[in-house]
């Protein structure tokens, strides 16, 4: 099989790395890819993965490339191309593609749509309101005492949520999004949710339009700084599994969320084939969905795919074909921890082009994989090119050993201004 992967982040590097291990794969492209993806090769044919200079949101360019190369399957990583309708476009042109179609991608591309869906189909969620006018939004925030999550309705690179603890902060957040347009057109409409307390986890399930196959639990770390301080980011690290739910509890939680989700999709005429990823808060009363995402999490993908034992190509094929019901997902008992190394200043402004040292040594270590995100090649050097630069991922017999291994590698990799959290998986380890 020939595969095309779309995207350039750490998630896409993990997708490429896992897909390339399948004996079904003979050739791979990634558009646009990154410096780490360029170093991967197919297990079967030892053919290097070819990075293509076509942006992930350049739908006409991607279509032209796919029509020329005729991949047997295109795998879409990021949320924006899904929201723009790349799956629908490829399908109309007779190309096999994995990912949520435009209608299904609304679960992520419109928080208002997602919130209405959850309320309609009885999926437990926070008390919320959707607003197009700042005055009405301020009034609702006041009814919550200012303790709320103020969310841009549209896509904002995973950073479109402002958490507030009092009314002054809530009003400031509303004005920043709706008046100041800090998230651009994504903030024309906002969703305000009551502030939920508890333990937040990531759930992922692979869907084929009829059934959903649940992944183990993972936990992301969204804030930029230790102890969950600082600004929201795309994610500073993740680990799997988490100790906060037993297997039996996970099945119960999944039934509360996924059963009504699938029923609602059927009733609404949404053919959901791809990954559904609800962010869930384990409150003292019951689990509640904070939001839905319609693609793999980043960096959750990095810890999931280092634990997945199935042939990944066969799973995605079954998702596209509607035959997931016959498949059983198999997971390694090992724990996996991913620590993101980011550019200094992220998620604000940051410098690019900083040489990265220590990658070759890390590549030789067992049970460690350094997934690239914001990296590029400059001559013979690999340099920084984005906010999140690397996802240092290690797997071991337990979380403590995996965490220690990941941080040992982080300490060996150097670039000017490198920033990382030192408490990834700390909650699970007490």
**What is the distance between the alpha carbons of residues 264 and 267, in angstroms, rounded to a whole number?**
5
Do residues 315 and 296 make contact, with C-beta atoms less than 8 angstroms apart? no
State the span(s) of the chain assigned CATH 3.30.470.20: 199-428
pLDDT band, very low/low/confident/very high, at 430 (cuts 50, 70, 90): confident
Long-range contact set of residues 129-136: C-beta below 8 Å, sequence gap at least 24: 129/191, 129/192, 130/189, 130/190, 130/191, 131/178, 131/189, 131/190, 131/191, 131/192, 132/188, 132/189, 134/174, 134/175, 134/178, 134/179
Calculate the alpha carbon distances from 166 to 125, 152, 171, 395 in Å. 21, 19, 9, 41
Report residue 401's pLDDT band, with 50, 70 and 90 as the boundaries.
Answer: very high
Q: What is the mean pLDDT of residues 48-69?
A: 99
Predicted confidence at residue 159, as pLDDT, reads 81
Residue extent(s) of CATH 3.30.1490 domains in the chain: 133-188
Residue 157 in this model has a pLDDT that exceeds 90: no
| Domain at 199-428, CATH class | alpha beta
CATH no., domain 133-188: 3.30.1490
- Res 247 pLDDT > 90: no
Strand bridging mode 219-220 / 2-7: unpaired
- Residue 145 has a pLDDT of 96
Residues 6 or more apart whose Cβ sits within 8 Å of residue 379:
none
pLDDT on residue 390: 99
pLDDT bin (cut points 50, 70, 90) of residue 19 is very high
C-alpha distances (whole Å) from 148 to each of 12, 87, 294 are 33, 35, 24
The pLDDT of 364-379, averaged and rounded, is: 97
At residue 84 the predicted structure's pLDDT band, cuts being 50, 70 and 90, is very high
pLDDT digits (tens, 9 = 90+) for 190-233: 999 999 999 999 999 999 999 999 999 999 999 999 999 998 89
Question: Measured between alpha carbons, how far is 134 from 188 in angstroms, rounded to an integer?
Answer: 10
Contact criterion met (CB below 8 Å) for 152 and 224: no
Question: What tokens were used for 355?
Answer: 């040489």
Can you name the residues that pair with 378 across neighbouring β-strands? Answer: 381
The per-residue pLDDT for range 287-326, each reduced to its tens digit, is 999 999 999 999 999 999 999 999 999 999 999 999 999 9
Three-state SS sequence of the chain:
CEEEEEECCHHHHHHHHHHCCCCCCCEEEEEECCCCHHHCECCCCCCECEECCCCCCCHHHHHHHHHHHCCCEEEECCHHHHHHCHHHHHHHCCCCEECCCHHHHHHHHCHHHHHHHHHHCCCCECCEEEECCHHHHHHHHHHCCCEEEEEECCCCCCCCEEEEECHHHHHHHHHHHHCCCCCHHHHCCEEEEECCCCEEEECCEEEECCCEEECCCEEECCEEEHHHEEEECCCCEEEECCCCCCHHHHHHHHHHHHHHHHHHHHHHCCCCEEEEEEEEEECCCCEEEEEEECCCCCCHHHHHHCCECCCHHHHHHHHHHCCHHHCCCCECCCEEEEEEEECCCCCCCCCCCCECECHHHHHCCCCEEEEECCEEEECCEEEECCCEEEEEEEEECCHHHHHHHHHHHHCCCECCCCECCCCCCHHHHC
**pLDDT tens digits, one per residue of 356-371:** 999 999 999 999 999 9
For position 158, what pLDDT does the model report?
Answer: 78
Does the domain at 2-102 match CATH 3.40.630.30? Answer given as no
Residue 17 predicted with pLDDT over 90: yes
Residue with tokens 């890819």: 33
Neighbour-count burial of 33, counting CB atoms closer than 10 A to its CB (0-12 exposed, 13-18 middle, 19+ buried): buried
Task: Identify the sign of the CA torsion 35, 36, 37, 38.
Answer: positive
What is the pLDDT, as a whole number, of residue 102?
98
């Amino acid at each position: 099989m020939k595969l095309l992967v779309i995207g350039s982040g750490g998630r896409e590097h993990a997708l490429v790395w896992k897909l390339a291990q399948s004996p079904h794969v003979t050739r791979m492209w990634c558009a646009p890819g990154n410096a780490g993806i360029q170093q991967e090769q197919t297990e079967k044919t030892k053919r290097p993965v070819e990075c293509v200079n076509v942006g992930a949101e350049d739908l006409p360019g991607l279509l032209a490339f796919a029509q020329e190369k005729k991949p047997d399957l295109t795998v879409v990583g990021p949320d924006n191309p899904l929201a723009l309708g790349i799956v629908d476009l490829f399908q109309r042109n007779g190309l096999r593609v994995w990912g949520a179609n435009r209608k299904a991608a609304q679960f992520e591309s419109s928080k208002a749509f997602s919130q209405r869906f959850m309320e309609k189909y009885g999926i437990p969620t926070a008390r919320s309101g959707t607003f197009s006018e700042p005055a009405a939004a301020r009034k609702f925030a006041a009814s919550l005492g200012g303790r709320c999550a103020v969310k841009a309705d549209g896509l904002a690179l995973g950073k479109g949520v402002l958490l507030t603890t009092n009314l002054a902060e809530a009003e400031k957040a509303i004005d920043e999004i709706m008046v100041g347009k800090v998230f651009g057109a994504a903030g024309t409409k906002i969703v305000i949710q009551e502030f939920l307390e508890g333990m937040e986890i990531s759930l992922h399930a692979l869907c084929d339009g009829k059934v959903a196959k649940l992944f183990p639990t993972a936990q992301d770390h969204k804030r930029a700084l230790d102890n969950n301080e600082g600004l929201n980011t795309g994610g500073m690290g993740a680990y799997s599994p988490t100790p906060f739910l037993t297997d039996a509890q996970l099945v119960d939680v999944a039934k509360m969320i996924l059963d009504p989700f699938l029923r609602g999709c059927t009733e609404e005429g949404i053919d959901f084939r791809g990954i559904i990823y609800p962010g869930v808060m384990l409150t003292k009363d019951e689990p509640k969905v904070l939001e839905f995402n319609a693609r793999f999490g980043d960096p959750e993908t990095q810890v999931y795919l280092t634990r997945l034992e199935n042939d990944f190509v066969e799973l995605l094929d079954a998702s596209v074909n509607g035959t997931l019901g016959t498949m059983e997902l198999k997971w390694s008992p090992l724990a996996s921890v991913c620590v993101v190394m980011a550019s200094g200043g992220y998620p604000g402004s940051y410098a690019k082009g900083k040489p990265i040292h220590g990658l070759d040594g890390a590549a030789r270590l067992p049970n460690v994989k350094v997934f690239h995100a914001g990296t590029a090649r400059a001559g013979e050097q690999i340099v920084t090119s984005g906010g999140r630069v690397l996802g240092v991922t290690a797997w071991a017999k337990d979380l403590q050993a995996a965490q220690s291994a990941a941080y040992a590698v982080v300490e060996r990799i150097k670039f000017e201004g490198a920033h990382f959290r030192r408490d990834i998986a700390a909650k699970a380890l007490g």
